[in-house]
Every structure is written in C-alpha cells, then in structure tokens.
Amino acid sequence: MLIRYKKNFEKIAMGLLSFMPEEKDVKKLQHTIKEYNSNPEWHLYLWKEDDDIVGAIGVRIENDLNAIVQHITVNPSYRNNRIGTKMIEQIKQQYQHKYAVCPDDYTQDFYSKSEDDASVDDETND
C-alpha cells in the first residue's frame, strides 16, 4: 500500500533512498530528504507491506505539466515481488489525470521494465 511520506518516517526513507546509487553520499541524501520535507513540488511516498515500510518512490512536479518519477527503491529483502512496479502503477493512477507521468534519467531503465512487466500481466489477464 502506498502512503504519503511524513517527517516521522525520515530515517526509514533515508535508509531506502540510500539503496539508490546516486544517493549513496550522505550529504546528497540529506539534501534530497530536505527537498522532500520543504519543496512543495517534491512528493515522496512509501510502500507498506503488512507492518513494514519496504519501498519508496519520489515524484517531482515540473512546469505544472509533468510528474517526474525521480526515485524508486525497494529494500533488497523484498525485491522481485513487483513492489516497484506496483508503486509506479499507483503513482500513475494518482497523477495521470493532471500530469504526464514519466521517469528521469536515473529511473528510466526500471520504469521501462515495469511498463513491460505490467503489459505482460495485462496480456495474461485477458
């Protein structure tokens, strides 16, 4: 289940974001979290499985036209369970009525793979 990030989840969110290669540096990670806490154009969501927060997805609103998926991360213990794909699907549902939802350079590969996975699921459900 996708939930909106709140400041009391800051340490968990930082831990999840640190799995992304471009967020390994502590100063960069602190800056990223500061943006999510203070910039109204940056939206961070967490994925909850049972009672555990196991994933995060970050969106940046750009020019009031695009919702850019700029962070996607899942705890390694929970990977290969389609959590990243589910997060992208829910972000699309939430934002597509007002914005064009698209990835940035860092999330492009995973975003494309998740779209391929979703279309395979659609074909098998037909």
Rounded to a whole number, what is the distance in angstroms from the first to the last CA of the chain?
A: 25
Tens of each residue's pLDDT in the chain, 126 residues: 999 999 999 999 999 999 999 999 999 999 999 999 999 999 999 999 999 999 999 999 999 999 999 999 999 999 999 999 999 999 999 999 999 999 999 999 999 988 877 665 554 444
Count the domains in the chain: 1
Expressed as residue numbers, the domain containing 13 is 2-125
Helix axes of 26-38 and 10-17: crossing angle, nearest 10 degrees: 130
Q: Which residues touch 29 (CB under 8 Å, ≥6 apart)?
A: 14, 17, 18, 23
Any idea what the CATH number is for the domain that residue 57 is in?
3.40.630.30
Query: CA 81, CA 95: separation in Å to the nearest integer?
Result: 23
Q: Name the H helices within 2-47.
A: 10-17, 26-38
Distances (CA, A) of 58 to 34, 119, 124: 13, 23, 29
H/E run at residue 5:
none
Strands of the sheet with 100-103, listed across from one edge: 2-4, 42-49, 52-62, 66-74, 100-103
